[in-house]
A and B are shown apart, each in its own frame.
Chain A
Amino acid sequence: GAGVSQSPSNKVTEKGKDVELRCDPISGHTALYWYRQSLGQGLEFLIYFQGNSAPDKSGLPSDRFSAERTGGSVSTLTIQRTQQEDSAVYLCASSLAGGASGGNIQYFGAGTRLSVL
């Protein structure tokens, strides 16, 4: 597609329920990132996928958070047993691979606003 697509745009859920957030990166981009933006805060890194390499999960705040990327394209971020502090905007970004040579710009989607009641 023309840009990074995220769905749903908004999600309201009850405390304790599981949610799945979807990210469809730009075609051809092998790197995919998830960030969390809490109210009034900057972006907090969650997880990073690069090609077929093992993902960098160092930013995941707890074991209730997980993500997968199927076929090197679409990614799903899953939050189990949601808590009120999980309420935030979840942003996805993608970029071309290339390391130092490309200065790879990360292109962002519009995010999913998650509200946990």
Chain B
Amino acid sequence: AQTVTQSQPEMSVQEAETVTLSCTYDTSESDYYLFWYKQPPSRQMILVIRQEAYKQQNATENRFSVNFQKAAKSFSLKISDSQLGDAAMYFCAYRNRNRDDKIIFGKGTRLHILP
């Protein structure tokens, strides 16, 4: 069975600084997607970034980028120039590629932005 582990329950970063959130996963599949979702106090899960496992190039979306290490099964999220609006719970997630399927989530990291 696939699992997703986020070892940092909470993190803090100074506004405008850079922070990296860690995620590791376990799977026997070779083709899958990895995601980072953001959940602000409004509760709505918002997709931040998506990585396809067959692509070696790390995904980027504006201030958000990932470091995808397939052999190590590691998928960290880097947030550059942190803003107050980045404060939220961040969830790392996994889904098999070859079928519509449920997403498997980690337990999340709460990110605090210090002004």
Chain A residues within 8 Å of B, Cβ to Cβ: 31, 33, 35, 40-45, 48, 50, 56, 59, 89, 91, 93, 95, 97-100, 103-111, 113
B68 at the interface (CB under 8 A from A): no
Interface of B is mostly: loop
Most buried by B among A42, A97, A111: A42
Bound CA span A109–B46, Å:
9
Q: Do A42 and B47 form a contact, CB below 8 Å, given A59-B102, A95-B100, A100-B98? A: no
Query: In the complex, what's the smallest C-beta–C-beta distance from A87 to chain B, in angstroms?
Result: 15
Question: How would residues 31 to 46 of chain B score, 1 for a CB under 8 Å from any chain A CB and 0 otherwise?
Answer: 1010001000011111
Q: Are B100 and A97 in contact (CB under 8 A)?
A: yes
What residues of B have a CB within 8 angstroms of the CB of A110 in the complex?
Answer: 42-44
Bound CA span A12–B23, Å:
35
Sample 19 A-B pairs with CB under 8 A, ordered by A number: A42-B107, A43-B45, A43-B91, A44-B105, A48-B100, A48-B101, A48-B102, A56-B102, A89-B43, A95-B100, A100-B31, A100-B97, A103-B33, A103-B50, A104-B100, A105-B47, A108-B44, A108-B45, A108-B46
The closest CB in chain A to the CB of B106 belongs to A42
Q: Do A45 and B44 form a contact, CB below 8 Å, given A99-B98, A100-B98, A103-B50? A: no
What residues of B have a CB within 8 angstroms of the CB of A109 in the complex?
Answer: 44
Most buried by A among B31, B46, B52, B108: B108
Bound CA span A35–B43, Å:
13
Our pick among B42, B103, B106, B107 for the contact of A45 (Cβ within 8 Å) is B103
What residues of B have a CB within 8 angstroms of the CB of A56 in the complex?
Answer: 102
B19 at the interface (CB under 8 A from A): no
Residues 29-72 of B contacting A (Cβ, < 8 Å): 31, 33, 37, 42-47, 50, 52
The closest CB in chain A to the CB of B37 belongs to A108
Q: Are B45 and A91 in contact (CB under 8 A)?
A: yes
Bound CA span A46–B37, Å:
19
What residues of B have a CB within 8 angstroms of the CB of A50 in the complex?
Answer: 100
Query: In the complex, what's the smallest C-beta–C-beta distance from A69 to chain B, in angstroms?
Result: 14
Q: A43-B45, A98-B100, A105-B50 are in contact. List 15 more A-B contacts (CB 8 A).
A: A31-B100, A33-B102, A41-B108, A42-B91, A42-B108, A43-B105, A45-B102, A91-B43, A95-B100, A99-B98, A99-B99, A100-B98, A100-B99, A103-B97, A110-B43
